[in-house]
Amino acid sequence: MTGASQPAATRTRAASLRLIVLAQTGQDVNRCYSCALCEEITDCGGDISLALLAQWVLANDDRVLTCRTVWSDEVLRQADHACANQLDIPAVLRALRAEAHRRGLNRGESNG
Burial class (CB in 10 A: 0-12, 13-18, 19+), 96: buried
For residue 105, the tally of other CB atoms under 10 A from its CB is 14
The 8-class DSSP code of residue 15 comes to: P
Query: Which has the higher per-residue pLDDT, 27 or 45?
Result: 27
The arithmetic mean of pLDDT across residues 101-106, rounded, is: 90
pTM attached to this predicted model: 0.82
Q: How do residues 72-95 score in pLDDT, each as one tens digit? A: 999 999 888 889 899 999 999 999
Query: Which has the higher per-residue pLDDT, 93 or 47?
Result: 93
Residue 107 one-letter amino acid: R
